[in-house]
């Protein structure tokens, strides 16, 4: 059966010292929990955070990776480098990367494949902006992101991918999707996977919700049958809030 996952996305927050402190706090509280808990941190934090977490209960991820394997790409960080820090996961295609750094589905597809080649679990993000939802295009937008981003993977590769549905209008706004809105889209995504890779693959794929998820609203979201956890921004910057979400399961 698919995993329950709560992943924190620190985005561009916390200097190195504060990040290590936060990771230590989460690490202390997370022991013994049956949810897969992941901290996705800025690149420079990875190797230090890796040293202070217990790898059997708390996992480490990056927030992005380069779309090329290695070479003359000043300022980029490769999937192989991420792997060498002890990280196991990488967020790919976050809406902030799509919007501010022009990352399109073709580029993201390359990143997903490089992550997989380096034995990192891609957390592939999708989600519509408000205008797309209001004009009734939200499902076709997400469908296209998924089809172009990850549907040319082999079944074996696809089985290693985690999907995060993050409606852009809910990210950092305090406007969380209703449990029904989340469930509707997660069900659509699982149906797409069934059509492409079959029922077993669909049943085994973890689909996370992201966007203004907090301890106070996590339970009703996670109670929905196709919501397998969360990708958490703001509330992951405080250990108690983050663990409040983990413990909502
Ligand atoms: P918030 O939880 O701050 O809305 O951010 C969600 C997100 O973008 C996680 O990747």
pLDDT in tens, 30-87: 976 689 999 999 999 999 999 999 878 899 999 999 999 999 999 999 999 999 999 9
Position 33 scores a pLDDT of 63
Ligand 1, atom 7, residue with closest C-alpha: 233
Helix (H, G, I), strand (E, B) or coil at 62: strand
Ligand 1 geometric centre to CA of 56 (Å): 25
Query: Domain 5-246 adopts which CATH fold?
Result: TIM Barrel (3.20.20)
Structure tokens at 34: 């049956």
Q: State yes or no: pLDDT of 193 exceeds 80.
A: yes
Instruction: Delimit the domains of the chain by residue range.
Output: 5-246
Q: Let me know if 94 is a catalytic residue.
A: yes
Enter the pTM of the model: 0.98
Atom of ligand 1 nearest to the CA of 210: 6
Ligand 1 geometric centre to CA of 72 (Å): 32
Position 249 scores a pLDDT of 87
> Residue 200 burial by CB count (10 A; 0-12/13-18/19+): exposed, middle or buried?
exposed
């Amino acid at each position: 059966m698919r995993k329950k996952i709560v992943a924190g996305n620190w985005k561009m927050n916390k200097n190195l010292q504060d990040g290590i402190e936060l990771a230590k706090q989460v690490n202390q509280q997370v022991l013994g929990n049956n949810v897969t808990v992941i901290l996705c941190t800025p690149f420079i934090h990875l190797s230090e955070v890796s040293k202070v977490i217990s790898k059997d209960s708390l996992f480490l991820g990056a927030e992005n990776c380069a779309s090329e394997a290695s070479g003359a790409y000043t300022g980029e960080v490769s999937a192989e480098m991420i792997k060498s820090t002890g990280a196991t996961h990488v967020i790919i295609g976050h809406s902030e990367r799509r919007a501010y750094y022009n990352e399109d589905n073709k580029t993201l597809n390359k990143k997903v494949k490089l992550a997989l080649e380096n034995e990192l679990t891609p957390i592939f993000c999708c989600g519509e902006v408000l205008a797309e939802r209001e004009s009734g295009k939200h499902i076709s937008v997400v469908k296209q992101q998924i089809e172009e981003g990850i549907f040319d993977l082999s079944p074996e590769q696809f089985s290693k991918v985690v999907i995060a549905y993050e409606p852009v209008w809910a990210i950092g706004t305090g406007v969380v999707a209703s449990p029904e809105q989340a469930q509707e889209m997660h069900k659509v995504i699982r149906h797409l996977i069934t059509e492409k890779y079959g029922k077993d693959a669909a049943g085994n794929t973890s689909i996370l919700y992201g966007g203004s998820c907090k301890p106070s609203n996590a339970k009703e979201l996670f109670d929905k049958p196709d919501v397998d956890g969360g990708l958490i921004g703001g509330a992951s910057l405080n250990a108690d809030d983050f663990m409040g979400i983990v413990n909502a399961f």
